[in-house]
Structure 1
Amino acid sequence: MSAFENLSIHCNDGYELSARFYPHQTTSKHALPILICPATGITKTFYNSYATWLTEQGHDVLVFDFRGIGESLHGPLKQSTASIVQWGQLDIPAAIDTLINKTQAAQVIILGHSAGGQLLGIVPNYNKVAKVVAVSGSTGHVKDLKGRTKLLAPVMFNIIFPIARYTLGYGPTNAIGMGENLPKDVAREWAQFCSKPGYVLNALGKTVQQDFHAQVNCPITAVWSTDDEIATKANVKDLLRLYPNAPTDMIELNPKATGHKAIGHMLMFKSSHKNLWSIIEKELHI
C-alpha cells in the first residue's frame, strides 16, 4: 500500500512545486535517497507504484511535478511561463535540496525518466548528485527517432506547436497521447532541443548561460528499450556524449527477451512490467 507525505518544494525564484515524499518501509535504509524526475508532461502520480516499491527495497524517495505540470501548475495553462530550462536550473536543484534536507543525506541519486534524466548539465548544484539513472533518457534528436514518432514529431514541432502557441496558448500534447498539455515555452524548447543533436546544448547562449556538462563527473547510466521510438540507441549515445568526464553506461532491454510485447518509452514504470523494476533498482546504488 502506498504511503507518502505531501510536500511543497520552494524554488529560488519563489515558485512552489508539488511533491510526494515516500519514506523507506524497511528496518534499514540505503544511505542515499532517490529523486524521481518525471518525463515531459508526466505527473508525479504516474510513478506512485514504482516509488512505493522502492520504499519496500529500503529507499527514501521524492517525486515531484515540474512547474507548469500537474499540481505544480498555478493558474491557467496558457498563462504559464514555465520552461524546460527552468526545470533544470530551478526545479531540479530545489528538489535536490529539499530531499537532502528531509533525509539529511550527503547526496541524492537521480532516477530521471526521459527529460528528467537529461538536464543535469544545467543543474547548478550538480555536485549534490551521486549518480544518475536515466530511464529512456536521450537527446530525442528528430533525425534518429523511429516508427510513428519519427513521422509525428516534425508535424508536432513545426506545425502544431507554433500554431497552437498563438491560438490555444499551450502545446496540445494530450490530444495525441503524449502526456499533459504543455506550457507554450516547454513546447517551444522541446522542439528546439530535439531539432539538432545535443538537446539542451542547443539553448546555450540563448536561455542557457551556465553549462556544467564538463564538470559533471558522477556515474550516468541510461536504461533504454530497443522498441523505444524516442530514446533510440543513437539518441541515447548522443545524450551520454554530453558528459565527457562522467563514467557512462548503457543498459539495453529487449521486450521479447524480458517477456513483453512492448516496453517503449513509458512502460518501465508500469506494474505490468514489474519484472523490470529490479533491473532499474540495481543501478540505484553507488
Structure 2
Amino acid sequence: MNSFENLNITCTDGYQLSARFYKATVATQNLPILICPATGIVKGFYHAFAEWLNTQGYDVLSFDFRGIGDSLHGALKDSQASIQDWGQLDIPAAIETLIQKTAHEKVILLGHSAGGQLLGITPNFEKVAKVVAVSGSTGHVKGLKGHTKRMAPVMFNLIFPISSLIKGYGATKMLGMGENLPKNVAKQWAHFCSKPGYVLNAIGKTVFDDFHKDITSPMTVFWSSDDEIATQANVKDLIRLYPNSATKMHELIPSEHGHKAIGHMLMFKKSHQNIWPVIAHELKI
C-alpha cells in the first residue's frame, strides 16, 4: 500500500503535472510542506524524506516539474517546458493544490536547488509562509568549485547546444545530473548561471513580473561545505535577491554529522537522515 496519494495538478495554462500527496501520520496544526525539486530530479527522489516529514506532523506534496519524469507528456524533444514555466506556472499550481488539499491558507516551500530559487517569479508568493532552500543558490559559474566548475562551461556551451541540436534536448543523464532536460530548460539554465542573479537575468527579456522585492517571508538556506554548486558565494548571491526577507544561511559540514560527503544531493538520502531533524528545525513557524 502506498504511503501517498497520486494526484494530477492542473496549471493555469492547462498543463498537467504529476504529484504525490503524503498525509501526516500525526495530527498537528503544522502548515503543509511543498517539496519543489531540483533541476532534472523526479519526485520519487524525495520519497523517504516526505514519509519522515509525515511522522513529524506535516502534510507533504511533491511533484515533477513539466518536462520531467511523469510530468513529461510525449517525446522529450517536443517539450517546450522552460525554467520560467516552473516558477510562473508549476509552483503556483502546486501551492494552490496543496492549500486546497489541506484547507490551510499558506504553505511552507521546501525547495531543493532550483526548486528554492524561483519564488521571486511566482505570482502567488504571498501564500508561502516560509522558504527552506536546501542546496539553494544561483549556481553562478564563477562561484562554482572543483570538478563542477571545470565541467560547467563544457556542459553549458558544448554539450547542451550540440545535444539540443542533434537530439532535441539537453543531455544531462550521461553526466549523472538527473533526467535529460527539455531544450528550453537547458538553454535557460546555461543563461541563468552565466551571470550573478540566476532568474534575474531573464527579467525584462522573457520574464516580466518580478516579485523578489515584494517577498517578506523568512528564508533559510542550507548548503554543505563540500557542495560544488551551492557554494558560500552562490548562496549569498541568492539571498541578496530577497532584500525584504529575513534570511539565514546554515552551513552543513559533513564531518560534524558523521559523513564523508553531503554535497548537492545526499541530504535527502536515508543514509543521511540524521540531517533531517536539522532541516526540520527550520520548518517551524
Aligned to 1:219: 218
Q: Which amino acid aligns with 1:188?
A: K
User: Structure 2 stretches of 5 or more lacking a match?
Assistant: none
Aligned to 1:3: 3
Aligned to 1:134: 133
Q: Which amino acid aligns with 1:207?
A: T
List per-residue Cα deviations over 1:23-53 (Å, max 9, x = no partner): 0001x22331000000000000000000000
Aligned to 2:23: 23
Kindly indicate whether the alpha-carbon contact (under 8 Å) linking 1:29 and 1:60 is maintained by their aligned counterparts in 2.
no
1:56 aligns with 2:55: yes
Q: Which amino acid aligns with 1:156?
A: M
Give the whole-Å Cα distance in 2 for the aligned partners of 1:181 and 1:206: 25
1:199 aligns with 2:198: yes
List per-residue Cα deviations over 1:43-97 (Å, max 9, x = no partner): 0000000000000110000000000000000000000000000000000000000
Aligned to 2:96: 97
Give the whole-Å Cα distance in 1 for the aligned partners of 2:152 and 2:164: 16
List per-residue Cα deviations over 1:138-196 (Å, max 9, x = no partner): 00000010010000000000111111111110001000100000000000000000000
Over the aligned positions, Cα root-mean-square deviation in angstroms equals 0.8
TM-score by length of 1: 0.99
Kindly indicate whether the alpha-carbon contact (under 8 Å) linking 1:2 and 1:48 is maintained by their aligned counterparts in 2.
no
Kindly indicate whether the alpha-carbon contact (under 8 Å) linking 2:30 and 2:57 is maintained by their aligned counterparts in 1.
no
Aligned to 1:158: 157
Q: Which amino acid aligns with 1:65?
A: D
Q: Which amino acid aligns with 1:137?
A: G
Kindly indicate whether the alpha-carbon contact (under 8 Å) linking 1:164 and 1:171 is maintained by their aligned counterparts in 2.
yes
Give the whole-Å Cα distance in 2 for the aligned partners of 1:50 and 1:122: 27
Give the whole-Å Cα distance in 2 for the aligned partners of 1:159 and 1:204: 25
Aligned to 1:12: 12
Q: SS in structure 1 opposite 2:200?
A: helix
1:111 aligns with 2:110: yes
Q: SS in structure 2 opposite 1:20?
A: strand
Give the whole-Å Cα distance in 1 for the aligned partners of 2:222 and 2:216: 19
Give the whole-Å Cα distance in 2 for the aligned partners of 1:207 and 1:23: 37
Kindly indicate whether the alpha-carbon contact (under 8 Å) linking 1:2 and 1:49 is maintained by their aligned counterparts in 2.
no
Give the whole-Å Cα distance in 2 for the aligned partners of 1:217 and 1:263: 30
Aligned to 1:172: 171
Kindly indicate whether the alpha-carbon contact (under 8 Å) linking 2:219 and 2:246 is maintained by their aligned counterparts in 1.
yes
Give the whole-Å Cα distance in 2 for the aligned partners of 1:130 and 1:30: 14
Kindly indicate whether the alpha-carbon contact (under 8 Å) linking 1:2 and 1:52 is maintained by their aligned counterparts in 2.
no
Aligned to 1:208: 207
Aligned to 2:72: 73
1:238 aligns with 2:237: yes
List per-residue Cα deviations over 1:171-229 (Å, max 9, x = no partner): 01000100000000000000000000000000011110000000000001000100000
* Aligned residues with identical type, % of pairs: 69
Give the whole-Å Cα distance in 2 for the aligned partners of 1:29 and 1:45: 25
TM-score by length of 2: 0.99
Give the whole-Å Cα distance in 2 for the aligned partners of 1:285 and 1:187: 35
Give the whole-Å Cα distance in 2 for the aligned partners of 1:135 and 1:241: 16
Give the whole-Å Cα distance in 2 for the aligned partners of 1:30 and 1:185: 40
Question: Displaced runs of 4+ in structure 1, greater than 6 A?
Answer: none
Q: SS in structure 2 opposite 1:214?
A: helix
Aligned to 2:142: 143
Kindly indicate whether the alpha-carbon contact (under 8 Å) linking 1:111 and 1:133 is maintained by their aligned counterparts in 2.
yes
Give the whole-Å Cα distance in 1 for the aligned partners of 2:216 and 2:94: 20
Aligned to 2:119: 120
User: Structure 1 stretches of 5 or more lacking a match?
Assistant: none
Give the whole-Å Cα distance in 1 for the aligned partners of 2:267 and 2:279: 9
TM superposition shift of 1:2 = 5.5
Give the whole-Å Cα distance in 1 for the aligned partners of 2:253 and 2:155: 28
